[in-house]
Amino acid sequence: MLKIGYGPQHEQYQPLPLLDYAVEAERAGFDSIWTSDHFHPWAHTNAASAFAWVWMAALAERTKRVEIGTSVTCPILRYNPAIVAQAFATLRAMYPDRIFLGLGTGEAMNEVPVGYQWPPFKERAERLEEAINVMKLLWSGSFVDYEGKYFKLCKANLYTKPSSPPAIFVAASGPTVAEIAGKHADGFLTTNRIADQPQYRSILLPALDRGAKSAGRDPGEIIKALEIGMAYDEDYEKALRAARFWAGTLLPASFKYGTADPREIEEHGLTVGDKEIAQAWSVGTKPEDYIKQLERYVKMGFQHVYVVSSSPDQIKALKMYGRHVLPYIRSTCGKT
């Protein structure tokens, strides 16, 4: 069954208005909430940076139906995986079947400011895979001992466990982490900017399948999830200006070279043109712009799609989706 979610971003809004937006998303008919989990934001001017786990609990109290999780948590440095396991076990015990956990190899801007050296990609991928093993051991076992290359447990026990563990989604933009997702995750997460590239089908999906088969798993049972950026307003220029907040995320250097200062990321983003922003963030003025987009990704095989809105009026954008986009998509391709 197709699920459509909303991705509230702590970088762009303070936590209380962000709560209002996520509550409105449930009211509008969205199935899930995928919230960012960062220490520093992707820009400096008018930015925010609340703690996602605290916010998730507040949202779960104010909602009844939506699933809630992160996109994504990095469990390799500032977060010890045992603490991640404890936090999400507690959330899921309190809100059964509503909490999931998105994981990734992270960004320097979240780890370097709190005192860590930014490791090379190979180490980050190894840490991520080891962290997933640690969390699963704690969710399923008692008084666990574990001796890994990066993490250790000594008779560690979670006294609060949910009846079922949180689903794990692993975010990947390359084959190494896609293979890790295939081995260990319930879901594989990527973005539309990656899914639109030829290497998505030629490299990422084969890596996902390869990882699943190496672990004796059926690749077809791994949920394929997708993040889509969007900016909606009847005034195109107004929507485009709102999307410019994210310009720095469109530069590979923001990820590749360990940039940690939001002021520097924002400055680099000034070099990104309006055309690139409009394409990456799906700037549109009418529901049909987003209906066509969602139809295309559902046909590509994505079963769980969520939209990150950089619209100048979040409530208006959510209501537009609820009135026009969600009903149409569910009536035409709601069963996959």
Conformation bin of residue 29: beta by default, left when phi > 0, alpha when psi is -120 to 50: left
Amino acid at 259: T
Which one, of 184, 174, 173, 155, lies nearest residue 249 by Cα?
Answer: 173
How are beta strands 167-171 and 152-156 bridged, if at all? Answer: unpaired
User: CA torsion sign, 156 to 184 to 39 to 232?
Assistant: negative
Beta strand residue intervals within the chain, DSSP E: 3-6, 32-35, 67-70, 100-103, 144-147, 152-156, 167-171, 187-191, 223-232, 283-284, 304-309
CA–CA gap between residue 185 and residue 101 (Å, rounded): 10
Which one, of 166, 159, 257, 231, lies nearest residue 7 by Cα?
Answer: 231
Beta-bridged to residue 261, according to DSSP, are none
> Is position 107 annotated as part of the catalytic site?
yes
Catalytic residue among 11, 67, 107, 179: 107
DSSP class per residue in 203-241: IIHHHHHHHHHHTT--GGGSEEEEEEEEEE-SSHHHHHH
Query: What does DSSP assign to residue 305?
Result: E
Contact (Cβ atoms closer than 8 angstroms) between residue 185 and residue 169: yes
Which one, of 290, 172, 175, lies nearest residue 224 by Cα?
Answer: 172
Q: Virtual CA dihedral for 221, 186, 31, 324, nearest 10 degrees?
A: -50
Buried b (16+ CB within 10 A) or exposed e, 278-292: bebbbbbeebeebbe
Residue bearing tokens 């220029």: 237
> Is position 267 annotated as part of the catalytic site?
no
**What positions carry a catalytic annotation?**
38, 107
